[in-house]
């Protein structure tokens, strides 16, 4: 059913359709609307879930870990400092191989305090062992959240998934969203059947101490599962398209206007829509990264192999080196590759900013790392 809703509601609708059993949540701007909507759905009986009101984001993720280990489908949402407060438990969720799904409403981290969008918060968690999927639109927020459960719960994966949506730009933006029916989603996403769970009749331990003779092997299993998830993400995206007529995030990457492109921009999230408006009918293409973890190494190499230069538009920065995506992409490709740091703290990335990035990229008069639209 096509309806007009904001991005936060799209995330909540996905949680309802996924028939989540336990939600543990703490409000933080701009994520709050998501858990407010879910709380209302639970109160109205639209979701048959245990809703746990906790005292912090650390507790929210800890509650999800316990619930997931007990064998039920779990969900939470957070943003910025809340995600940072979860940091310790993100490693626990991944290391215990728990298929938790979380929405992160991307927001700048302090100090100074900012409630507006950039992607620094989730980039800071890129090594925690979570899959990271980035939505461009409110529709993709819904689609990727449903798909995330099927990816995470695959018995070859069993890793948690973070669905990232740009704060305010998507969370508070109203767009047309096709909300599928419950029976449709049930046939795509069956009920969760855990491979392992806490059970008094079949006792086992989750997350015990690992001595030096076994710890590396646990990490290698996570490594293998993360690598396998590339194929699972692509497969789930194909299955989603067969069921619903659209691809959940286009798999690992989306290529736009790349057929005859001489130059390429690389980006994540909602800024891709602005880029598409600028590059239509030009010799510049866009490669939008949907899956930041696992990183789409071969897909990026293939997509970018024939372009003269690549510009990575980043809403984050690894201070002292450059944007996180640029750092990783530069190690993969031989093309000239430049970083454009933009939109930090919610600063608008305008059509003319994209055009100037393109002009600078084509001129070759560009630094390795470039700061876009500074007020200096």
CATH of the domain at 295: 3.40.50.920
> What are the average pLDDT values for consecutive 10-residue runs of the chain, which has 376 residues?
96 98 98 98 97 98 98 98 98 98 98 98 98 98 98 98 98 98 97 94 92 98 98 98 93 97 98 98 98 98 98 98 98 97 98 98 96 94
Give the structural domain span for 272.
253-371
Which pLDDT does position 376 carry in this prediction?
Answer: 83
Residues 132 and 19 in one domain: yes
Q: Indicate the number of domains in the chain.
A: 2
- Whether pTM exceeds 0.95: yes
Domain boundary among the residues 209, 227, 244 is at 244
Which pLDDT does position 348 carry in this prediction?
Answer: 97
Which pLDDT does position 117 carry in this prediction?
Answer: 98
Residue 376 located in a structural domain: no
For helices 271-279 and 351-363, the axis angle rounded to 10 degrees is: 60
Residues 333 and 350 in one domain: yes
Instruction: Give the residue ranges of DSSP H helices in 153-214.
Output: 182-188
Residues 224 and 291 in one domain: no
Bridge-based pairing of strands 131-134 and 291-293 is antiparallel
Domain boundary among the residues 212, 244, 276 is at 244
Which pLDDT does position 65 carry in this prediction?
Answer: 98
Residues 72 and 120 in one domain: yes
Residue 167 located in a structural domain: yes
CB contact set of 40 (below 8 Å; sequence gap of 6+) = none
Residue 317 located in a structural domain: yes
Which pLDDT does position 249 carry in this prediction?
Answer: 86
> How many other CB atoms are found less than 10 A from the CB of residue 326?
26
Is 181 buried (19+), middle (13-18) or exposed (0-12) by CB count in 10 A? Answer: exposed
The dihedral through the CA atoms of 34, 343, 130, 256 has a sign that is positive
> How many other CB atoms are found less than 10 A from the CB of residue 364?
10
Structure tokens at 340: 């454009």
CATH of the domain at 236: 3.40.50.970
CA distance 132 to 122: 8
Dump strand ranges (E) for 79-204.
101-106, 131-134, 161-166, 174-178
Which pLDDT does position 1 carry in this prediction?
Answer: 86
Domain boundary among the residues 223, 244, 265 is at 244
Structure tokens at 11: 């995330």
């Amino acid at each position: 059913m096509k309806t007009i809703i904001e991005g936060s509601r799209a995330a909540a609708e996905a949680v309802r359709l996924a028939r989540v059993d336990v939600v543990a949540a703490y409000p933080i701007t701009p994520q709050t609307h998501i858990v407010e909507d879910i709380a209302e759905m639970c109160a109205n009986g639209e979701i048959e879930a245990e809703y746990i009101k906790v005292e912090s984001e650390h507790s929210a993720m800890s509650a999800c870990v316990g619930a997931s280990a007990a064998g039920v489908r779990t969900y939470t949402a957070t943003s910025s400092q809340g995600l940072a407060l979860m940091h310790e438990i993100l490693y626990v969720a991944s290391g215990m191989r728990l298929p938790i799904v979380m929405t992160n409403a991307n927001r700048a981290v302090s100090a100074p305090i900012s409630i507006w969008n950039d992607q620094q918060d989730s980039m800071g968690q890129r090594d925690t062992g979570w899959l990271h999927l980035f939505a461009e639109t409110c529709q993709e927020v819904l689609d990727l959240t449903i798909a995330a459960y099927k990816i995470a719960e695959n018995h070859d994966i069993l890793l948690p998934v973070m669905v990232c949506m740009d704060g305010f730009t998507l969370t508070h933006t109203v767009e047309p969203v096709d909300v599928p029916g419950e029976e449709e989603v049930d046939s795509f996403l069956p009920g969760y059947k855990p491979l392992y769970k806490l059970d008094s009749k079949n006792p086992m331990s989750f997350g015990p101490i690992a001595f030096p003779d076994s710890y590396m092997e646990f990490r290698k299993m996570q490594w293998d599962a993360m690598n396998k998830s590339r194929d699972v993400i692509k497969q789930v995206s194909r299955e989603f398209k067969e069921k619903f007529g659209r691809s959940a995030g286009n798999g690992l990457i989306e290529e736009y206007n790349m057929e005859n492109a001489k130059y390429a921009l690389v980006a994540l999230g909602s800024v891709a829509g602005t880029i598409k408006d600028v590059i239509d009918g030009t010799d510049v293409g866009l490669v939008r990264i949907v899956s930041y973890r696992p990183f789409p190494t071969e897909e990026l190499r293939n997509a970018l192999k024939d372009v003269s230069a690549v510009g990575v538009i980043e809403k984050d920065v690894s201070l002292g080196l450059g944007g996180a995506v640029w750092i990783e992409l530069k190690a993969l490709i031989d093309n000239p590759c430049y970083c454009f740091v933009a939109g930090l703290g919610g600063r608008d990335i305008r059509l003319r900013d994209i055009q100037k990035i393109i002009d600078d990229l084509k001129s070759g008069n560009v630094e390795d790392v470039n700061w876009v639209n500074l007020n200096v």
